Amino acid sequence: MCISLRSTFFFRQYQRMFLPPVQHGATVLNRELFRRTVDVIGVRVPTNSVAKFLKVLNKDLFNQPKLKNVVNDPESSNTKIVLLNPKVESLELDNIPSDIKNFINNEGLGIVRHSVELNYDYWGADDIIKAILPSGVESPTSFTQVGHIAHMNLRNEFLPWKHIIGQVILDKNPKIATVVNKTDVIDTTYRFFKMEVLAGENNMIAEVKESNCRFRFDFSQVYWNSRLHTEHGRLLSIFKKGDYICDVFAGVGPFAIPAAKKGCIVYANDLNPASYNYLVENIKLNKVYDKVYPYNLDGKLFISKAVLDLQKAYDDNAESSKTSKVKSNATLQKQNSCNFNHFVMNLPATAIEFLDAFRGLWKDKETLFKSLNLELPMIHCYCFSKSDTPESEIVERINTVLGHPLQEDTYKIHFVRKVAPNKDMFCVSFQLSHAICYGFFSEKRKQDIINSAPQDSTSVEGDNINKHAKRHKLEDQ
C-alpha cells in the first residue's frame, strides 16, 4: 500500500514537472509566461562512450517527447551528459538498479545535475490551452483543415477565449495560416455558415486536393466538408466510365469533377451563385470542360431541365448522325445517352423533399427506353435522421414524397457519419420504379396528385396518369 501510494504521488509530481505554468483566465497570449525549468540527474561520459551508455541505460534514460537524452557538456567538448529518468532525484542514484548504478560509477566520469529549459515552443496546443482555460475544462483543440484554413466549431462556453485559442492553434500548426470559427448565423437560402476569423490572415480562398482533383473556393461563401472525402470516394467507386451523372446539389464539384476525371458525363447544379462560379472555375482548373455541364438553378427545376437537355443532346446527335456517314446503333449509344445512370442528391437537410420531381418525369419515354434497353436511374439521396429507428423513419419519409413505396430489398441505406450526439447522416440508394418514372400511381395516389396540382395543369396530369395506368397495371402490382 505504501509503495503504491508513493508511486502514485511520484507519477503526479512527474506529470506536473513537464506541464506548462498555469495561466488560468488569460485572454491575451503572452508566450514569455510559458517557461519552466526541469532539474534532472545526468551522467558525464566520454563522447566516444555515448552509444554504449545509451544501450546499457536504455530503460533508465530521460526519454521525454521532443527532448534529447544526450546534451552537450558545458565544461568540456570531449564529454557529453547522458540524462537519466526524472524519477532519479539524487546524486546517489536512488531508484536505479544496483547493476546499472555500478556500471555508471565504473564507466562514467561523474554524476551531475542538469537543467532542462522548457518554453512555449515545447508544449502542444492542448497543453497550452488547458493552462489558460479554467481548471477542469476540456481543451477545444479539434478543427477541420480546409486548405490553409483551420475551421473550428467552438461551444459558447469557450467564446471568451476564442481569439487566444485561435492564436494557439495558429502557432502550433505550421500549415495553417487562418483560424476561423463557425458562428450561429446560417444563410437560409444557400445553407453555408458565417465565419469569424479568430487568428491569422483574413483569407478565405482555400485550395484543396481531393480524389486526385484540385478545388478552389471561398470557404466563407460555399459549403465544403473535408470529413466527407471518404463518402465522396465511396460513391465515385460505384460510377463507371461512360456513365451519365446528374449532380443536383453539386457545390463546387467534389462529386462532379472526380466523376468527370473517371470518364463520366456530368450535369452539375448548385443554386448558390458562389458555388456555381467556383464549380465553373474548378471545371477549368481540372480540364474537364467537355465532361461537366454546370447549372445555377433550383434543384427541382434543374432535375427536369437536365433530363430535357440530355434528351435534346441525344436527339441532336442522332439527327447529325443521319446526315453524315451512317453509324451503327451501338456506336451511337456509346457516344451519347438519352438518360442518366445516377442522380446524386447531397443536401441532407432537405434532399428528400426534392424527390417528387421524379414523378412522371419520363412519362413519354417508356417506348424509347425499352427500345434502347436502358435501365432506370439510380438515386443517391442524402439525409439526416434523429430517430432511434432511422431506416424505417427515412423510408417512410421517402415513400411519402415519392407517392409510391420503396419495395424491400430494392434500396440500400448507408451510414455516412454522426454529425451530432443525436443526429446521423445517411445515404439512401435506390432505383426509380416504373411507376415513378412513367407516372403510374394507385387510384388513391392519382387522386391526391390531381387534387394537389395547380388548376391549369390538373387535366394534363390527370390525363397522363389515366393514360399510363392500364399499361402498367400488371407490371407494378
Task: Say whether 399 counts as a known binding-site residue.
Answer: no
Prediction pTM value? 0.79
pLDDT tens, residue by residue, 24-46 = 888 899 999 999 999 999 999 99
Mean pLDDT of 150-178: 95
346 has binding-site annotation? yes
Structure confidence at residue 467 as a pLDDT band (50, 70, 90): very low
Q: How many C-beta atoms lie closer than 10 Å to residue 173's C-beta?
A: 16
Nearest-5° Cα angle at 282, 280 to 284: 75
Domain pair 125-203 / 230-317+335-441, same fold:
no
Q: Write out the H or E segment, with its range, that includes residue 373.
A: none
CA gap 278, 222 in Å, rounded: 9
Laid out side by side, the sheet with 292-295 consists of 292-295, 265-269, 244-247, 342-345, 378-385, 423-431, 411-420
Is the Cα torsion angle 358, 364, 365, 371 positive or negative in sign?
Answer: positive
Tell whether 298 is in a known binding site: yes
Nearest alpha-carbon partner for 302 in 258, 367, 256, 238: 256
Residues 145/175, Cβ–Cβ less than 8 Å = yes
DSSP conformation class of 404: S
Is 270 marked as binding a ligand? yes
Q: Whole-angstrom distance between the N-terminal and C-terminal Cα of the chain?
A: 77
Asked if residue 470 lies in contact with residue 462, where contact means CB atoms within 8 angstroms, the answer is: no
Bridge partners for 90 per DSSP: none
CATH number, span 230-317+335-441: 3.40.50.150
Q: Is 342 annotated as a binding residue?
A: no
One-letter amino acid at 8 equals T
pLDDT of 135 reads 85
Residue 462 has pLDDT above 50, yes or no: no
User: pLDDT band for position 474 (50/70/90)?
Assistant: very low
H helix and E strand count, the chain? 15, 17
Q: 218, 278 in Cβ contact below 8 A?
A: yes
Is position 299 annotated in a ligand binding site? yes
Compute φ and ψ for 364, nearest 5 degrees: -110, 15
Residue 370 pLDDT: 85
CATH number of the domain located at residue range(s) 125-203 in this protein: 3.30.300.110
For the chain, the domains span 37-118, 125-203, 230-317+335-441
Residues whose CB is less than 8 angstroms from the CB of residue 18 and which lie 6 or more positions away in sequence, other chains included: 36, 38, 64, 118
Structure confidence by residue, pLDDT tens digits, 286-327:
999 999 999 999 999 999 999 999 999 988 887 776 665 544
Helix residue ranges per DSSP H, 298-359: 299-323, 329-335
